[in-house]
Structure 1
Amino acid sequence: MKVLITGGAGFIGSNLARHINAQYPGWDVHIIDDLSTGYRENLAGIDAEFFEGSILDLEFLAAAVAGVDSVVHLAAIPSVPRSVAAPRPTHDANSTGTLNVLEAARTEGIEQVIVASSSSVYGSNPALPKSEFDWTRPMSPYAVSKQATEGYPLAYNFSYGMKNLAFRFFNVYGPGQAAGHSYAAVIPQFLDAALSGETLVVHGDGLQSRDFTFVGTVCDIIATAIAEGIHSNDPVNLAFNTNTTLMDLISRIEEELGHPVETKHQATRVGDVRASQSDGIRVRALFPKVVPVTLRSGLAKTVVWFQESRAGSTEKA
């Protein structure tokens, strides 16, 4: 099995490559990344062929997919606030980039492309928990781009007989997730601040909720989909019906660290969804053998990774 991971030097992509090395050592892993949001150091110790380049470069992309059996398309410009500040780069990378990947795969005769959409596509839909068949109403350019990201591969199933799979990710977290930038996700932001003795910044009242999903669970699901050739003509929520407010998350972080942390509240950010939770029904039906990692266990592993990373950085300094 030869697998190509686009955006493979990023947080989820590098974790997936490492998971495949461990669970499917016979697979040949290829990674492409333009290193705009990914990091070469994420690939340390991973057995994979790495090629630096962009999914917007059609000639490069055509060469990258040659001879591949399955493509996992994770390359994207993430972040709602980043898309609000600069919508066009987000559209180009996420929407046009996905079309480029699908066209390259179709031309090469590759049947399966697995793509990363987002729970942000639900937008202003207030229903909880959310089913894949609920209506969507994106509230940010990022969410719109992710709706295109999932729409294209599903349309290619119908139009060209491909066997694609579109996952809606729900707040993926875990070891390797970068914290040191202005668009960092909430868990690495909070942990980085807490371990530095700084005040945690909470946008809004902190009662907004998320369905946090551990990156190890995400990797297990994706690798299983490749191994078993699982596909769907409808999107699949990759989350398991949990609901955690930011204030609850902070309490859990305090429990893991063994001491309280300071918080301050700022204005709610434009485009932020109030509540996000999947019903978890379809993902459990499609992947009945995968047991999701609990938030308590996943957060504990993430805290350890952050502590070890900081200790390593101190030693190098």
Structure 2
Amino acid sequence: MTRSTLQRPRRILVTGGAGFIGANLVRRLLDDDEVDEVRVIDDRSAGDHGTLHGLPVTDIDASILDWTALRSAVEGCDGIVHLAAMASVAASVADPVLCHEVNATGTLRVLDAARAVGNVPVVLASSSAVYGEHPAARKHEGLPVDPLSPYAASKLAAEGYALSYGRSYGLPVLPLRFFNVYGPHQPAGHAYAAVIPAFVEAALDGQPLVVNGDGGQTRDFVFVDTVADVISTALQRGLTSAAAVNVASGEPTSLDQLIDVVCRVVGHPLVVHHGPERVSDIRHSRADVDRLRTLVPDVAPVSLEEGLQRTVAWTRGRMAARIALEGVAEGRDLPTMDRVS
């Protein structure tokens, strides 16, 4: 890892900024007094969930594969966070060519746009999926990679392009391997850590939790505010890396343990139904975060319990707003509630 002498970025572009991680990052950047403008480029191909409603951002409704729109979005920026992606393993298996175009070619276009306007620093999202089923108890960045899906392969390609642009053109890059990110603005069924929004929404709706497999599989859950803090800190300090960096809590949590915490947070026991294991599902995933701690030693991860408390509070508000809107549509006389986006 290196610390750049580049100026602190004041105009930042977030690709995929209307998505789950992007929307939380945008809020974090808007709270930074050093940031003058936040731009977003997002084609809403994963749906428009109103995540940027009312925020003072420059919102460009376009794909990163649209070179004209992308080049215009990058112009004048002095920092880029590249989050736009096809983030579903299942979707990548169904359409591997499109996955490659969005995740690999899309990243290449972002990097080339950054180079074209004067080597603008790029922080980009990769994935723990690149490790595959490596048996190491902790997945450290020096392990051999073993992508098991087109999605994982495309993320590995994105990393490779970023690092090659760093070496070939001197482009400042920081590739981050996200583990299981969760938190507000993550709809149930989202590709990242889909189990948490699904569990929380079911628990609040009085529905049983559906577990694929025996519940013993483990994941390294990281709260989205921690991810946003890592990215924001890296941008403001001009941090770069000649190798990928894991972003995670460093603590494994089984689905059974996760259910226990969800029960405590929602305040009542939950019914659990077990189904068959998912095909190609990774049994255990835990990150070695030594490199991350060296990079940003003062960014402490939010605990799972605290992260779930914030997630449950947001989900409660979202569900209440949805019920209110449905009531208005049906002509029922319901109390006024603030809009939750």
TM-score bracket for this pair, using the shorter chain length: over 0.9
Alignment of 1:211-290 (within 5 A): 211-290=220-299
Equivalent residues of 2:41, 2:60 under 8 A apart: yes
Residue aligned with 1:41, SS: coil
- Cα 1:181–1:117, aligned 2, differ >3 Å: closer, same or farther? closer
Q: 1:42 maps to which residue?
A: 51
- Provide the C-alpha distance between the structure 2 equivalents of 1:275 and 1:27, rounded to a whole number of angstroms: 42
Residue aligned with 2:251, SS: coil
Equivalent residues of 1:70, 1:110 under 8 A apart: no
Q: 2:109 maps to which residue?
A: 100
What do residues 92-117 of structure 1 show as CA deviations (whole Å, max 9, x unaligned)?
11111101111111111133111100
Q: Which structure's residues are more often helix, by fraction?
A: 1
Q: 2:179 maps to which residue?
A: 170
Residue aligned with 2:141, SS: coil
Q: 1:11 maps to which residue?
A: 20
What do residues 58-109 of structure 1 show as CA deviations (whole Å, max 9, x unaligned)?
1211111111101100000112222222222211111111011111111111
Task: State the one-letter code of the partner of 1:9.
Answer: A
Q: 2:169 maps to which residue?
A: 160
Q: How many residues align?
A: 317
- Provide the C-alpha distance between the structure 2 equivalents of 1:38 and 1:67, rounded to a whole number of angstroms: 28
Q: 2:3 maps to which residue?
A: none
**What TM-score do you get using the length of structure 1 for normalisation?**
0.96
> What's the CA shift for 1:231?
0.2
Alignment of 1:77-226 (within 5 A): 77-179=86-188, 185-226=194-235
1:306 to 2:315 alignment: yes
> What's the CA shift for 1:148?
1.0
- Provide the C-alpha distance between the structure 1 equivalents of 2:134 and 2:218, rounded to a whole number of angstroms: 14
Residue aligned with 1:42, SS: coil
Equivalent residues of 1:7, 1:38 under 8 A apart: no
- Provide the C-alpha distance between the structure 2 equivalents of 1:284 and 1:182, rounded to a whole number of angstroms: 26
What do residues 150-172 of structure 1 show as CA deviations (whole Å, max 9, x unaligned)?
11111111111111000000100
Residue aligned with 2:210, SS: strand
Task: State the one-letter code of the partner of 2:141.
Answer: E
Residue aligned with 1:260, SS: coil
- Cα 1:189–1:53, aligned 2, differ >3 Å: closer, same or farther? same
Residue aligned with 1:72, SS: strand
- Cα 1:26–1:105, aligned 2, differ >3 Å: closer, same or farther? closer
Which ranges of structure 2 fall in alignment gaps of 5 or more residues?
A: 1-9, 327-341
Say which is worse superposed, 304-313 or 264-273, in terms of deviation.
Answer: 264-273
Q: 2:78 maps to which residue?
A: 69
**What TM-score do you get using the length of structure 2 for normalisation?**
0.89
- Provide the C-alpha distance between the structure 1 equivalents of 2:119 and 2:249, rounded to a whole number of angstroms: 30
Residue aligned with 1:291, SS: coil
- Provide the C-alpha distance between the structure 1 equivalents of 2:17 and 2:190, rounded to a whole number of angstroms: 19
User: What is the Cα-based RMSD across aligned positions, in Å?
Assistant: 1.6
